[in-house]
Amino acid sequence: MSTERRSDMNTRTSHIASHAAAAGAAGLAAMAVPAVHAAGSDEIRVGLLGCGGRGSGAVRNCLDADPSVVVVALADLFPEKARRLRDALMKDPKYKGRVRVPDDAMFGGFDCHEKLVKTDTHLLLMATAPAFRPWQMMAAIQAGKHVFTEKPVATDVTGCRLFIEASRLAEQKKLSIVAGTQRRHEFNRVELMKRIHDGAIGELVGGQCYWYGGGIWYRGYEEGMSELEWQCHNWYHFTWLSGDQVVEQHIHNIDVLNWCFNGPPKLFTAVGGRGVRDYSEQAKQVAAKLGKPNDWAKYNGDIWDHIVAEMEYPNGARCLSFCGHGPGTHRNGEKIVGTKGSSDCSGRIMDLEGKVVWQYQGQMVNGQLQEHVDLIRSIRAGSPLNEGVRIGESTLTAIGIRIAAYTGQSVSWEWLMKGSKNQLVPDPSQWKPGPGVFHPIATGADPLV
Amino acid sequence: MSRSKRWSRRRFLARSVSTVGGLAATTLAPRVGWTAASPTIRVGVIGCGGRGTGAANDCVEAGGDGVKIVALADVFADRLNNLKQKYNVPEQRCFVGLNAYKELLALSDVDMVILATPPGFRPIHFAAAVEAGKHIFAEKPVAVCAAGIRMMLEAAKKSEEKKLCVVAGTQRRHDPKYVETIQRIRDGMIGPIVSAQCYWNQGGLWVRKREPNMTDLEWQLRNWLYFVWLSGDHIVEQHVHNIDVINWAFGTLPDQVHALGGRQYRVQPEYGNIYDHFGTEFFYPGDVRTISMCRQIDKSAGRVSERVVGTKGVTTFDGRIRDHAGNVLWEYKGPSVNPYVQEHRNLLAAMRGGTYINEARQVTESTLCAIMARESAYTRQQMNRKWFMERCDLNLLPPPDLKLTDPVPVAPVAIPGKYQLAGLVQEKKGK
């Protein structure tokens, strides 16, 4: 089920599956962490927000990352998801004694994060649909929690700004924030990026990133849900909840290019649309169950199925972003091009003739485990690792592409940071069981807000 | 008529056209066209709409008294009136109907023809003009399908054998600002090319709604931009200009292409079956990847340009080459030239015994790249040029016996996953 929440997991796994377990363990053994063996004060008490596929993956990664991690609180919009996860974790002999979640530390409802931040926890893992994350993050930072946050961290510009504000507050409070863009924690990429930043391929003058893949799940209506709850259950299909695929998924690849350039682009131009996504049959079933059989079209979702964008970076380099879901040739990856060579952004550097001049030969690690290892190490060492502003910027980069595509306008970074009033997520006071929030499918010439 | 039925019928026709063409070449003596001894180059215009009229005017501006518009052909009488009056073309030299081009090409005193009908007809008209021994100004694009590309390549070869001069309406090739920039790229000023981009993003173009008295074909011809079999879609019809510049800069063609596109904004029936946006990646030899983007959406941000990036410098064909620090390495200081007129000057000069010029192959190749990108977007399949040339059976050429009253249903808009590209066996993947 992990593919449901983090649809890249299969791809990631297929790349490094054979290394994952061994390398993760080796990484731990090699880690110089003082006094982690005893219980008590050495424990890192963890709470999880969002107990779906990705949340249950993240909490396991966190447990695997360090033996002193204990899970003490679980929260989800749907409390039964939290219960199911607790049961599953407690049944796993690997985590014996480390899952200690009493009934009164299980929270449900749209305000479950508010209850979660009041628990006696060090670290919160955030893995709900991204729409709510900026507020969840602000609450967590204000409560003094370290945070692991899944990507993306917002779905609209206003949310990104709030997230970045929370991240800056975390800097002041010396809290760690690590984001689920696991490529940043893979040793091969880290070593490669050092070389790119040191000029191994010269000045960066071009690049490409891709995530064009197969379709996604569609979740039907379940008894007792309000329309909004069903929408949150089936969140990927609504831009205000997921950010659209460019934000929800392709952010991984966009983030790699931002990493190459050490910052976000300055200008976005994009085209795209919705040509093949069709969930009419499922949408009609949902409509029937909600008692609105004639109103089914909106349950089909509003996200697009393809966007092709150009991102222009501050040094003038123009890079391609290419993403979507549907039939045809599937692609996932990145390439960066410099005046002296190019790189696959994974572990190889080529000269201008295409000859491999450097290849990573060190240890491979599972990035989704390593990100937790790095986070816990930073907490333990008292030297916060704060990726908040960076993941906020990469989220905003992807949102910039989406806005450029939805409106047909070229959009600048400066305008995104200062001018845009783009806000899709309703105010938290509106987060309660009731009617859903529906926006029309973007036309490609929507007003720029 | 289903697509596959239409296709199989058309494939047969395309084969017979080529065969007839081949026979004709061996049985008819090549026509002796214009010779240096004649004082005036006599020009026929096939396709007298906006572009044909523009090209005729540019030709006259380029040639002055040395050229004369002497014959006109169009499917519709009302379309050739402007040129008829402006250049006093006699009634008996104005031909109307779907076969008007044949009558014009049969005139032995026409030295050169301007081919400016909707591009779906171009391969047939071009091949016929070559058979008739005419020098040619061919508007871009020159085909809309694989069969048309093959027909064009064959005819292009024949035109070279017959030493016919051919210039294509990719006017950037005749703009000294471009020509000199490309020369410096060839000379190595920007180093090897490592990245490039090209764009044709704009608002909408004109559209003709169907009127009650119009037949299928009349409406489609008068509204030809919006039907794939006539225009090739806007990536072929318009963006080919920019794709051509990138091909020119590389001096070679892309091996592969992968595109996404759709019809998101312009969905009304008067817009036929073309898309309103494409985002494309071309792969040139050495895995150099380029961006191509084109859009026709009202109120959207415009951008029509090309940019080529080398290891040592960059140009946007604005008359400057810069290094990566932004310093100007070279600046075009020559006169500003109207390339739409210049292309005719160059053609006329070649006909008068100057440097031989034949752009048929090059414009066909750039047209091919645009068609491949379109088909890649329609299928979302990465396209390989070798495959496309050898295996793609897409044939949208009109049958030779086409009549204005024939029923011509509008093919459905291409939906990736449902759209069938003739010759392509698609794996079932995704949803």
User: Hey, are the CB atoms on B430 and A213 less than 8 Å from each other?
Assistant: yes
Pairing between β-strand A306-312 and β-strand A267-273 as defined by DSSP bridges: antiparallel
The 10 Å Cβ neighbour count of residue A372 is: 29
Residue contact B195–A318, C-beta within 8 A: yes
Whether the bond between A152 and the residue before it is cis, its omega within 30 degrees of 0, is yes
So what's the pLDDT on residue B425?
80
Residue in chain A nearest B202 by alpha carbon: A408
Tokens 């289903």 belong to residue: B2
Distance from CA of A204 to the nearest CA of B (A): 10
Pick B195's closest partner by Cβ from A213, A337, A340.
A337
| Residue A108 C-alpha, separation from nearest chain B C-alpha, in angstroms | 33
CB contact under 8 A, A328 and B309: no
| Cα separation, B2 vs B217, whole angstroms | 17
A355 contacts in chain B (CB < 8 Å): none
Q: Which of A307, A320, A445 sits opposite B299 (nearest CB)?
A: A445
Q: Of A273, A327, A410, which is closest to B262 when you measure between CB atoms?
A: A273
Give the closest of B191, B262, B431 to A306, CB-based: B262
Q: pTM (2 decimals)?
A: 0.91
Cβ atoms of A374 and A239 closer than 8 Å: no
Report the gap between the CA of A213 and the closest CA in chain B (Å).
7
Res. B404: pLDDT tops 80: yes
Nearest-CB residue to B381 (from A316, A328, A342): A328
Mean pLDDT, residues B332-345 taken together = 97
Q: Inter-chain contact A318–B280, Cβ cutoff 8 Å?
A: no
When pLDDT is cut at 50, 70 and 90, the band that residue B428 belongs to is low
Q: Which residue of B has its CA nearest to A208?
A: B289
Q: In chain A, which residues have their Cβ closer than 8 Å to the Cβ of B298?
A: 445
- For the sheet with A106-108, list strands across it: A106-108, A69-76, A44-49, A123-126, A146-149, A177-179
For chains A and B, CB pairs below 8 A equal 170
Residues of A in contact with B380 (CB under 8 A): 212, 306, 324, 326-329
Contact state of A337 with B431 under an 8 Å Cβ cutoff: no
Query: Above 60 in pLDDT, residue B10?
Result: no
Does the distance separating the beta carbons of A275 and B415 come in below 8 Å? yes
Q: How far is A200 from chain B (nearest CA, A)?
A: 14
What is the predicted pLDDT for the residue at A371?
Answer: 97
Mutation target to probe the B interface, by most B beta carbons within 10 A, among A329, A334, A448 is A329
Rounded CA gap, A246 and A267, in Å?
Answer: 16
Mutation for testing the B interface, residue in A216, A245, A260, A306 having most B CBs under 10 Å: A306
Per-residue model confidence as pLDDT tens for chain A (449 residues): 233 333 333 333 333 333 333 333 333 333 333 333 334 468 999 999 999 999 999 999 999 999 999 999 999 999 999 999 999 999 999 999 999 999 999 999 999 999 999 999 999 999 999 999 999 999 999 999 999 999 999 999 999 999 999 999 999 999 999 999 999 999 999 999 999 999 999 999 999 999 999 989 999 999 999 999 999 999 999 999 999 999 999 999 999 999 999 999 999 999 999 999 999 999 999 999 999 999 999 999 999 999 999 999 999 999 999 999 999 999 999 999 999 999 999 999 999 999 999 999 999 999 999 999 999 999 999 999 999 999 999 999 999 999 999 999 999 999 999 999 999 999 999 999 999 999 999 999 999 99
Q: Would the CB atoms of A445 and B430 count as touching at under 8 Å?
A: no
**From CA A358, how far away is CA A194, in angstroms rounded?**
12
pLDDT (tens digit, 9 = 90+) per residue, B75-105? Answer: 999 999 999 999 999 999 999 999 999 999 9
In tens, the pLDDT along B35-58 reads: 555 579 999 999 999 999 999 999
Pairwise CB contact (< 8 Å): B262 & A329: no
Q: What is the DSSP string of A73-137?
A: EEEESSHHHHHHHHHHHHH-GGGTTTB---GGGEEESTTHHHHHTTSS-SEEEE-S-GGGHHHHH
| 3-state class (DSSP) for residue A143 | coil
Tell me the two tokens of residue A223.
Answer: 């008894």
* Interface test with chain A among B268, B277, B426, by most A beta carbons within 10 Å: B277
ipTM (interface predicted TM): 0.91
Q: Cβ B276–A318 below 8 Å, yes or no?
A: no
What's B209's DSSP letter? P
Nearest to B298 among A206, A340, A445 (CB): A445
Chain A residues closer than 8 Å to B307 by CB: 318
The identity of residue B69, as a single letter, is I
Is there a contact between A213 and B286 if contact means CB atoms under 8 Å apart? no
- List the single residue in B194, B303, B415 with the smallest CB-CB distance to A269: B303
Q: Name which of B199, B301, B416 is nearest A276 (Cβ-Cβ).
A: B416
Query: Nearest C-alpha of chain A: how many angstroms from B386?
Result: 17
User: Tokens 């032995």 appear where?
Assistant: B108
Judged by CB atoms closer than 8 Å, whether chains meet at A325 and B430 is answered as: yes
Nearest by CB to residue B291, choosing from A274, A304, A320, is A320
A337 vs B contacts (CB less than 8 Å): 194-195, 289
Cβ contact, residue pair B301, A410, below 8 Å: yes
Distance from CA of B143 to the nearest CA of A (A): 25
Q: What chain B residue is nearest to A405 in terms of C-alpha separation?
A: B300
Measured in angstroms, the CA of A331 and the nearest CA of chain B are apart by 10
Tens of pLDDT, residues B169-191 = 999 999 999 999 999 999 999 99
* Cβ distance of B429 and A273 shorter than 8 Å: no
pLDDT for residue B39: 76
> Is the pLDDT score of B26 beyond 50?
no
Sequence-ordered list of residues with C-beta below 8 angstroms from that of A44, at least 6 positions apart, any chain:
A66, A68, A69, A70, A122, A123, A376, A379, A380
Please give, rounded to a whole number of angstroms, the shortest distance from the CA of A10 to a CA of chain B.
14
Cβ neighbors of A281 (< 8 A, separation 6 or more) are none
Out of B265, B314, B379, the one facing A445 most closely (by C-beta) is B265
- As a whole number of angstroms, the distance between CA A306 and CA B281 comes to 14
Q: Which strands sit side by side in the sheet containing B41-46, from one edge to the other?
A: B94-96, B67-74, B41-46, B112-115, B135-138, B166-168
Q: What distance in Å separates the CA atoms of residue B172 and residue B119, rounded to the nearest whole number?
A: 19
Q: Which candidate in A205, A208, A212, A271 is best for mutational testing of the B interface (most B CBs within 10 A)?
A: A271
pLDDT tens string B267-308:
999 999 999 999 999 999 999 999 999 999 999 999 999 999
Nearest by CB to residue B279, choosing from A271, A326, A352, is A271
Q: Hey, how many other C-beta atoms are within 10 angstroms of the C-beta on B202?
A: 18
State pLDDT tens for residues B229-262. 999 999 999 999 999 999 999 999 999 999 999 9
> What are φ and ψ of residue B69, in 5° steps?
-80, 115
Q: Which of B54, B58, B51, B53 lies closest to B72 in space, CA to CA?
A: B53
B132-to-A230, B75, B399 alpha-carbon distances in Å: 70, 20, 20
B424: its two tokens: 């392509």
